[in-house]
């Protein structure tokens, strides 16, 4: 019962992330990807730091920077490169390989078993995302593909390391450290590579507030909380809910049409998420699957 509650709470994060495209295109000025990423992370991180009033100590300074780079700075940078150089469907489909990468990294870094059903669920999720948003006219760009893969590897590594590196602080504090670190790492690139933002409108301010407070602070608190209680191979497939939400919002809010193929993609994505959770409840190699990786994860 507690596990199901943790799953549902964690699933809220990628569901909300699916609204990012709608908010960005409808409420924010176009052409400022690094600025938007920085303003999404840094103010939210500083706000949470003001709430928890606790800074990293010792090795957690370096680990917070590494996790901030993997989960925010480098990931969002690669994500934007991929999004600008590839059609949205291709970019999202390339990024959907993340659960497969998590399975491999969790095996080497956490000692988690790799189950055949988990691999099947991850592949089904990729197929579902492709049916959902990949168009026949999609073109491929080598740099965009490389950036998409790099972003997926970055987020996958951050997901697994968030499970391996668990400080003796609350998920709220750990989220504050990572958001702040990620925003600070983005700041010099933003100042060097993009012009200043125009004077914000009321819609711009609403969009920035939503992305920072809801799309970053709240969602990553729920995501990191889930990672502190559940294996990465359980949490990562929930990310398939993000493109699904984006397509549903486009249909609902922007009056975009959905084809039968897209409805099939939604069904496959939801089925893959269910299958991935089912896989973790089955024994591996004839033995009971480990339920707590704390002993392994503490070998930092």
138-165 pLDDT, tens digit per residue, is 666 788 788 888 988 999 999 999 999 9
CB neighbours of residue 150 within 10 Å: 18
Residue 294, pLDDT score? 33
Instruction: Assess whether pLDDT exceeds 60 at residue 244.
Output: yes
When pLDDT is cut at 50, 70 and 90, the band that residue 8 belongs to is: very high
The CA-atom distances, in angstroms, between 147 and each of 78, 79, 91, 143, 194 are: 5, 7, 9, 6, 19
The answer to whether 152 and 242 have CB atoms below 8 angstroms apart is no
Higher pLDDT, 128 or 206: 206
When pLDDT is cut at 50, 70 and 90, the band that residue 201 belongs to is: very high
Higher pLDDT, 214 or 240: 214
Query: Considering the chain, what is the average pLDDT of its residues?
Result: 85
The CA-atom distances, in angstroms, between 36 and each of 28, 52, 114, 197, 269 are: 8, 25, 37, 10, 29
Provide mean pLDDT across the span 66-70: 96
When pLDDT is cut at 50, 70 and 90, the band that residue 297 belongs to is: very low
* pTM of model > 0.85: no
- Could you give the dihedral angle defined by the CA atoms of residues 156, 172, 50 and 158, in that order, rounded to the nearest 10 degrees? -10
Instruction: Assess whether pLDDT exceeds 90 at residue 289.
Output: no
């Amino acid at each position: 019962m507690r596990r199901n509650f943790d799953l549902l709470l964690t699933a809220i994060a990628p569901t909300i992330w699916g609204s990012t495209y709608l908010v960005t295109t409808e409420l924010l000025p176009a052409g400022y990807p690094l600025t938007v990423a920085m303003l999404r992370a840094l103010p939210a991180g500083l706000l949470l730091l003001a709430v928890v009033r606790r800074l990293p100590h010792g090795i957690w300074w370096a680990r917070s920077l590494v996790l901030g780079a993997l989960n925010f700075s480098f990931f969002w940078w690669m994500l934007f490169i991929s999004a600008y150089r590839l059609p949205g469907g291709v970019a999202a489909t390339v990024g959907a390989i993340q659960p497969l990468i998590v399975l491999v990294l969790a095996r080497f870094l956490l000692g988690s078993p790799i189950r055949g059903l988990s691999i099947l669920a991850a592949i089904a999720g990729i197929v579902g995302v492709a049916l959902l948003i990949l168009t026949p006219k999609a073109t491929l760009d080598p740099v965009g593909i490389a950036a998409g893969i790099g972003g997926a590897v970055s987020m996958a590594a951050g997901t697994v390391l968030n499970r391996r590196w668990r400080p003796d602080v609350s998920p709220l504090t750990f989220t504050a450290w990572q958001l702040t670190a990620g925003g600070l790492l983005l700041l010099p690139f933003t100042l060097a590579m993009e012009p200043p933002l125009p004077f914000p409108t009321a819609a711009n301010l609403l969009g920035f507030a939503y992305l920072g407070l809801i799309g970053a602070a709240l969602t990553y608190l729920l995501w990191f909380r889930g990672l502190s209680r559940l294996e990465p191979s359980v949490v990562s497939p929930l990310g398939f809910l993000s493109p699904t939400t984006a397509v549903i919002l486009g249909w609902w809010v922007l009056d975009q049409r959905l084809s039968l193929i897209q409805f099939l993609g939604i069904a496959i994505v939801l089925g893959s998420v269910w299958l991935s959770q089912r896989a973790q409840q089955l024994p591996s190699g004839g033995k009971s699957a480990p339920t707590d990786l704390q002993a392994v994860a503490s070998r930092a």
